[in-house]
Structure 1
Amino acid sequence: MKQIIFADDNEPFRLSFSRILERSGYAVMQAEDGREALRKFRESPPDLVICDLIMPEMEGMETIQELTRMKPDIRIIAISGGGRVNPLDYLKVARMMGAVETLAKPFSSEELLASVVRLIGPGDQAAIPSKR
């Protein structure tokens, strides 16, 4: 099963999108900040990292730099609502630092799933519970 690390300090947001990814056949490891994402990455390198850019402890930009240093070909989707700066400016810098795709918050589950499928392919259909 394809593995994803989803790093975002907004717990309800992270939980919601992690569930959507799991229902789509992906294994998701959640991280509340960049440090936790890096720890999980070292323990079990995933196929994809989804990383918020504005987080406490360790910002997303720093996390992306470290991830690409450890594994230059890692696929990363950077996400951001922008904070005090236009989110598109943050996301542009994230691309320069190694993010393969970017999504500005708010985004839909369809947009996220389309990006994930583009980068690592569809989830494991055998893992999706049947709707009876």
Structure 2
Amino acid sequence: MGKTVCIIEDDELVRARLADVLRATGHDVFEADSAERGIELIRTRKADVAVVDILMPDRDGLEAIGQLRRTRPDLRIVAISGGGRVGPQIYLDLARQIGADASLTKPISEADLEAAVTGDAAAPRT
């Protein structure tokens, strides 16, 4: 049975690709182009999972993960990052400390995304 997933990603092409992959595997997906919009949508719509980009212009994804964890402790959170000045691993490690259940480095394989969203034991840690 598919999950309801909110993808919070500012890059339109990345967001569309992730949404297409998840829809193709039976998930219901809604999208947000900013952390603020994603948090607002998750407040008003039922979501099982949030896929959250760490580096976004309007608000830090780490801050969004912390807020989502406090307000929706049952929400599965998958942090994603392609880097930044110090590389993605530092951000993803922080995301897990703040409350992300899984973390993925861009580019993200379809199998890794599916495993992280569903909570499969084989889900990658980085």
TM normalised by structure 2 equals 0.89
Contact 1:33 1:59 in 2 (8 A): no
Contact 2:3 2:118 in 1 (8 A): no
Equivalent position amino acid for 1:115 in 2: A
In the alignment of these two chains, the number of paired residues is 119
Residue 63 of structure 1 deviates from its aligned partner by: 0.5
Residue 68 of structure 1 deviates from its aligned partner by: 0.8
- Inter-partner Cα distance in structure 1 for 2:72 and 2:31: 19
1:88-103 equivalence runs, <5 A = 88-103=89-104
Q: Which runs of 4+ in 1 moved over 3 A?
A: none
- Inter-partner Cα distance in structure 1 for 2:65 and 2:55: 12
Larger radius of gyration: 1
Q: Deviations over 1:36-71 (max 9, x none)?
A: 100100111300000000001111011001101101
Aligned match of 1:111: 112
Aligned match of 2:123: none
Q: Which has the higher contact order (CA 8 A, sep 6+)?
A: 1
Q: Deviations over 1:4-62 (max 9, x none)?
A: 00011110110011011011111111011100100100111300000000001111011
TM normalised by structure 1 equals 0.86
Aligned match of 1:125: none
Aligned match of 1:51: 52
**Secondary structure in structure 2 of the residue aligned to 1:92:** helix
Aligned match of 1:19: 20
Equivalent position amino acid for 2:101 in 1: V
Equivalent position amino acid for 1:28 in 2: V
Equivalent position amino acid for 2:119 in 1: R
Q: Percent identity?
A: 37
Residue 118 of structure 1 deviates from its aligned partner by: 2.0
Aligned match of 1:64: 65
- Inter-partner Cα distance in structure 2 for 1:29 and 1:56: 20
Unaligned runs of 5+ in 2: 121-126
